[in-house]
């Protein structure tokens, strides 16, 4: 590809995106569209500006809860006793009484569907002992996920000085949340009830009814934060995450989130370039108890390309000529190069499928015997 053609291609791509960004003309204070598998940003507006997130905070509350469930730390059948502190929560509630017992499963419904503050605090206390301890876990997990401009002060999103995050950080937290298949039981639940049908729950995420492929995540609003939302949708192999903060009203919040998703699905596609455990090549091992070792991808790998350009992707495997034992499966032995029209767009490390130990005396002796037997035949 000539430099002039490449420059023209890049200019056209940038012009297209800039033009579309102008057409978007979002009223939200900040917004982001992210592809979930790769974390690639497809649209951005003030994505690192710290703002109050309102109940979108509960994306992190739900993440810590589902991690505790999936790890076995807590069970969905566990019964949680409501504290006075949880009872005292204002804002949206399911009106828990002091001493009332509710299962983790029902509390998860109340948080994901109804955005219940009392349920959020009750579950936070059950997981970490106190809401304060839980908030420490929230901030620690945020930093681990690369959410560097986030400071949580509570588990609910109720207004509190210094309780701030960004649309980018919430997208990163949401990206981690959707890696847990069990969370979608709660995120996609449109209508349910608690207390044997006495208390109705209707999911605040209206896009569940309106937008094809939407299966989460969370809405939020306060007088300070205005109207906020984190949403995710999947079509085919492409999962997108859209986050908007500071929309002027509820309908604008939903419409602009849908507009972001429309843009993503219309213009981009996710292509799987390697599967977890996929054998990408074999390498000879010298002085080992095995003569060959397979090179594999440690996880599923994806790239995001313009719509319709997935067929232009090429893959090249580059491996070392040989390895000398001992070989650790933690040390890469080559790379998988992903190219589009000759341009490198991604590299994937290739690792040994197994450790290879150094051959002992008897193993080396057997190799010599086998060599001479084969040579003699």
Smallest CA-to-CA distance from 52 within 215, 177, 163 is with 163
Whether 358 and 288 have beta carbons less than 8 Å apart is answered as yes
**How far apart, in whole angstroms, are the C-alpha atoms of residue 22 and residue 64?**
37
- Please provide the DSSP assignment of 55-97 as one string: GGGHHHHHHHHHHHHHTTSS-TT-EEEPPHHHHT--SS---PP
**How far apart, in whole angstroms, are the C-alpha atoms of residue 266 and residue 16?**
13
Question: Is 307 labelled a binding residue?
Answer: no
Distance of CA 187 to the CA centre of its chain: 15
Mapping DSSP to helix (H, G, I), strand (E, B) and coil, where does residue 106 land? helix
Structure tokens at 360: 């002992």
Given 55, 120, 174, 221, which residue is catalytic?
55
58 is catalytic: yes
Given 29, 30, 45, 58, which residue is catalytic?
58
Given 115, 120, 221, 297, which residue is catalytic?
115
Whether 29 and 44 have beta carbons less than 8 Å apart is answered as no
Please work out, in degrees rounded to the nearest 5, the angle formed at the alpha carbon of residue 206 by the alpha carbons of 96 and 253: 105
55 is catalytic: yes
Residues in contact with 60: Cβ distance below 8 Å, sequence separation at least 6, in sequence order: 138, 141, 142, 152, 173
Taking each helix axis as running N to C, give the angle between helix 131-144 and helix 117-128, from 0 to 180 degrees, rounded to the nearest 10.
80
Structure tokens at 245: 């903060």
User: Any idea which residues carry the catalytic annotation?
Assistant: 55, 58, 115
Annotated binding site for substrate: 218
Annotated binding site: 218
């Amino acid at each position: 590809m000539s430099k002039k053609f490449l420059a023209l291609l890049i200019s056209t791509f940038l012009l297209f995106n800039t033009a579309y960004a102008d057409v978007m003309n979002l009223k939200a204070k900040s917004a982001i569209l992210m592809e979930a598998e790769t974390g690639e940003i497809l649209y951005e507006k003030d994505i690192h500006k710290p703002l109050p997130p309102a109940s979108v905070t509960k994306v992190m509350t739900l993440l810590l809860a589902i991690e505790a469930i999936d790890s076995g730390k807590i069970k969905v059948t566990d019964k949680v006793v409501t504290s006075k502190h949880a009872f005292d929560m204002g804002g949206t509630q399911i009106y828990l009484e002091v001493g009332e017992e509710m299962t983790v499963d029902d509390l998860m419904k109340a948080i994901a569907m109804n955005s219940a503050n009392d349920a959020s605090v009750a579950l936070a206390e059950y997981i970490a002992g106190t809401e304060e301890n839980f908030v420490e876990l929230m901030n620690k997990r945020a930093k681990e996920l690369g959410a560097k401009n986030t400071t949580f002060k509570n588990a609910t999103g109720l207004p509190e000085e210094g309780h701030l995050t960004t649309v980018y950080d919430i997208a990163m937290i949401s990206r981690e949340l959707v890696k847990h298949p069990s969370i979608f039981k709660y995120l996609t639940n449109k209508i349910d009830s608690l207390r044997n049908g006495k208390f109705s729950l209707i999911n605040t995420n209206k896009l569940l009814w309106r937008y094809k492929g939407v299966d989460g995540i969370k809405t939020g609003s306060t007088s300070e934060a205005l109207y906020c939302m984190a949403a995710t949708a999947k079509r085919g192999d492409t999962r997108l995450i859209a986050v908007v903060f500071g929309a002027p009203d509820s309908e604008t919040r939903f419409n602009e989130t849908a507009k972001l998703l429309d843009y993503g699905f219309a213009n981009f596609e996710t292509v799987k370039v390697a599967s977890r455990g996929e054998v990408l090549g074999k390498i000879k091992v010298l002085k080992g108890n095995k003569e060959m070792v397979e090179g594999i991808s440690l996880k599923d790998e994806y790239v995001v390309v313009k719509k319709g350009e997935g067929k232009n992707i090429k893959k090249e495997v580059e491996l070392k000529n040989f390895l000398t034992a001992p070989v650790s499966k933690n040390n890469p032995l080559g790379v998988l190069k992903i190219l589009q029209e000759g341009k490198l767009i991604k590299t994937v490390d290739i690792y040994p499928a197994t450790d290879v130990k150094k051959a002992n005396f008897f193993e080396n002796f057997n190799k010599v015997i086998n060599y001479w037997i084969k040579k003699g035949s």
